[in-house]
Amino acid sequence: MVGRLAVVGLGLIGGSLARAARARRAAREVVAVCRTPAGSARARAAGVVDRVTVDLAEGVRDADLVVLCAPVGTLPGLVRAAWPHLGPGAVLTDVGSVKAPVVAAAEACPPRPGVAFVGGHPMAGSERSGLQASDPDLFEGRLVLLTPTTTTPAGVVGRVTAFWQALGSHVRLLPADEHDRAVAAVSHLPHLAAYALVAVANGDALTLAGRGFGDTTRIAASAETLWIDIFRGNREPVLAALADYQETLARWEGLIRAGQWEALEVDLARAREIREKLA
Amino acid sequence: MVGRLAVVGLGLIGGSLARAARARRAAREVVAVCRTPAGSARARAAGVVDRVTVDLAEGVRDADLVVLCAPVGTLPGLVRAAWPHLGPGAVLTDVGSVKAPVVAAAEACPPRPGVAFVGGHPMAGSERSGLQASDPDLFEGRLVLLTPTTTTPAGVVGRVTAFWQALGSHVRLLPADEHDRAVAAVSHLPHLAAYALVAVANGDALTLAGRGFGDTTRIAASAETLWIDIFRGNREPVLAALADYQETLARWEGLIRAGQWEALEVDLARAREIREKLA
């Protein structure tokens, strides 16, 4: 059990984290750091944390575990801002969908004995956003990726792992750059692909859409500001995944144009077999 | 209520149609026409129809309504094969995802007084296939598209509409070519897009996939033989939709590469707003 947990940013993920930590008694006390007085007021009204502040330094002081739950683009700055105010024995982590920039920011901070950072990313979310969409069971049964470096103390990884496990998650470790390439393929590219499917279906066609279109494009209802931030933060891996995708589509376009149905069937069968195994 | 209903092909759609017609008493008697003796045996064992035959002529003779539930590529041939054996007052329809070829085949048949065809397409399905995946509620609340031509008698459209309404569906009429362009955008392209997302995610990345990837690619578990048949049958509209999609992705790639985040945000916001309205 964590003593004092500070959650910086009380949106979908931060709100769900605070509620999950309380519901599962994973922390004795939960402090929320909000960006604005209006956000603080909403957090207080929701009654999901013990204390709310708009002062980052005050919020993270004396916390045993600080989890940054803010948009990807703000994370490096938040690491730098929080770092000097962390108390001895504190662990700083985050939930961002892009890991290299925030890990680099933490590595560039002046070493402080007994203070450590490890990057984190729960593979859980929703096309909805904000505290009102938060869910104390959001992390139940979900995978959480941690990206320790060669200098991250093993004990720190162990403490953050135990915290996520207390929320019902499974934890897996991998290097930040590997993480960023993998999520570009299984999360960032699918968002671009879904937004594009909606963009090309004109109004009349959309009135005919069935369940297949609905499921395939559900994530295109996600807040674009958060996703622009992610594409910007993970630019090179996203461009690489997008290039692979365009190459595959161009190949299939060529096969359809040429009537090479057997070759197309081989490609689709391979994809279908892989997808079936995902369950 | 239909007197005798003949269902040609007892897979996911045909099986669901037979079960729905029985469950909702939309037909007094249901006859299944199967392609093989093995299929007939399975149909008999499932007990979802009153009579089973492998003889198309025998199966459609004396039927009041004949619904072709076979793969898209076989439909024009089945229309030509069934046509001479339809009794006076019989209506022939189908459930194929591509309408122009089957409508053209029916229009080319020698006119027979009291015998008529109208194309149909229920916007309902599943990534699963076969009689074992059939569901008597598959059409409940779903849209069914009918594609009458200028020569289709209004009474025929009315009878097929009433049949689908008895199964819980809403019916909408539109020209076959308009149907084929629209479903290329909202159904056929999304299948290609989903298969391609799975194809470009390598094995390691796939182990990190969350719910977003799962939903976006669910339809990539669909039987590729059925989809090859659909892409072949709707080649030009599919190529046009695919070209629009590639153009959009190429534009967004350019914006990401150039760091033009505001322009990308405008495009994504437009897509997000459209998707939100779909509910």
Q: Determine the average pLDDT of the residues in B136-155.
A: 96
Q: Same domain, yes or no, for A102 and A139?
A: yes
Percent of chain A scored above 70 by pLDDT? Answer: 100
Question: Which residues of chain A lie closer than 8 angstroms to B232, CB-CB?
Answer: 259, 261
List the single residue in B with minimal CA-CA distance to A122: B210
Question: B interface mutation test: which of A216, A234, A251 has the most B CBs within 10 A?
Answer: A216
Same-domain pairing of A18 and A129: yes
Which one of A201, A250, A253 has the shortest CB-CB distance to B186?
A201
Please give the residue of chain A at the shortest CA–CA distance from B268: A224
Q: How far is CA A30 from the centre of its chain?
A: 20
pLDDT band at B127 (very low <50, low <70, confident <90, very high): confident
pLDDT tens, position by position, B2-28: 999 999 999 999 999 999 999 999 999
A201 neighbors A217 (Cβ within 8 angstroms): no
If one counts the domains in chain B, the total is 2
Q: Are residues B62 and B163 in the same domain?
A: yes
Q: How far is A14 from chain B (nearest CA, A)?
A: 18
B279 pLDDT higher than 80: no
Q: What per-residue confidence (pLDDT) applies to B33?
A: 98
Instruction: Tell me which of B151, B174, B197 is where a domain ends.
Output: B174
**Which of B181, B189, B196 is nearest residue A248 as measured by Cβ atoms?**
B196
Q: Of A201, A208, A218, which has the smallest distance from its Cβ to B215's Cβ?
A: A218
Say which range, A96-110, B47-61, B69-83, B121-135, has the weakest mean pLDDT. Answer: B121-135
Quick one: pLDDT at residue A203?
Answer: 82
Domain identity same for B144 and B228: no
ipTM of this complex prediction, to 2 decimal places = 0.92
Burial class of residue B261, CB neighbours in 10 A (0-12, 13-18, 19+): middle
Q: Do B224 and A191 touch (CB under 8 A)?
A: no
Q: What tokens were used for A87?
A: 């108390």
Chain A residue with the nearest C-alpha to that of B229: A261
B138 and B61 in one domain? yes
Are B68 and B189 in the same domain? Answer: no
Q: Which residues of A touch B264 (CB under 8 A)?
A: 228, 231
> Do residue B194 and residue B160 come from a single domain?
no
Contacts of B239 in chain A (CB under 8 A): 253, 256-257
| B49 pLDDT higher than 90 | yes
Position B1 scores a pLDDT of: 86
Q: Where are the beta strands (DSSP E) in A61-208?
A: 65-68, 91-94, 116-122, 143-147, 170-173
User: Are B266 and B197 members of one domain?
Assistant: yes
- Residue B44 pLDDT more than 80? yes
Q: What token pair was written down for B61? A: 């003779």
- CATH number for the domain spanning A117: value is 3.40.50.720
Q: Is the pLDDT of residue A279 over 80?
A: no
Residues of chain A positioned with their CB less than 8 A from the CB of B197: 189-190, 193, 245
State mean pLDDT over B136-150: 97
Which of B113, B145, B174 delimits the end of a domain?
Answer: B174
A-chain CB neighbours of B182 within 8 Å are 204-205, 208
One domain, residues A107 and A233: no
For residue A137, the distance in angstroms to the closest alpha carbon of chain B comes to 14
A201/B210 Cβ within 8 A: no
Mean pLDDT of chain B: 96
Question: What is d(CA A207, CA A218) in angstroms, rounded to the nearest whole number?
Answer: 16
Partners of B16 on chain A (C-beta within 8 Å) are none
Residues of A in Cβ contact (< 8 Å) with B181: 205
- Give the range among A76-80, A274-278, B261-265 with minimum mean pLDDT: A274-278
* pLDDT at position A96 over 80: yes
Give the pLDDT confidence score for residue A204 in this predicted structure: 86
Contact state of B200 with A241 under an 8 Å Cβ cutoff: yes
Q: How far is B224 from chain A (nearest CA, A)?
A: 6
* Residue owning tokens 């690489």: A240
Q: State whether A208 and B191 contact (CB < 8 Å).
A: no
Summarize the confidence of residues A40-58 as an average pLDDT. 96
Task: Using the 3D structure, point to which of A174, A202, A231 is the last residue of a domain.
Answer: A174
Tell whether the model's pLDDT for residue B65 goes beyond 90: yes
Q: Do B215 and A216 touch (CB under 8 A)?
A: yes
What's residue A79's pLDDT?
A: 98
With beta carbons less than 8 A apart as the criterion, state whether B242 and A256 touch.
yes
Query: Is the domain of A45 the same as that of A170?
Result: yes
Instruction: Pick the closest to residue A195 from B267, B37, B6 (CA basis).
Output: B267
Whether A143 and A185 share a structural domain = no
Distance CA B236, CA B225 (A): 19
Answer yes or no: do A133 and A70 share one domain: yes
Expressed as residue numbers, the domain containing A67 is 2-174
Residue of A nearest to B242 (CA): A253
Give DSSP secondary structure letters for B209-276.
--HHHHHHTGGGGS-HHHHHHHHHHTHHHHHHHHHHHHHHHHHHHHHHHHT-HHHHHHHHHHHHHHHH
CATH number at residue A187: 1.10.3660.10
- pLDDT (tens digit, 9 = 90+) per residue, A121-147? 999 988 888 999 999 999 999 999 999
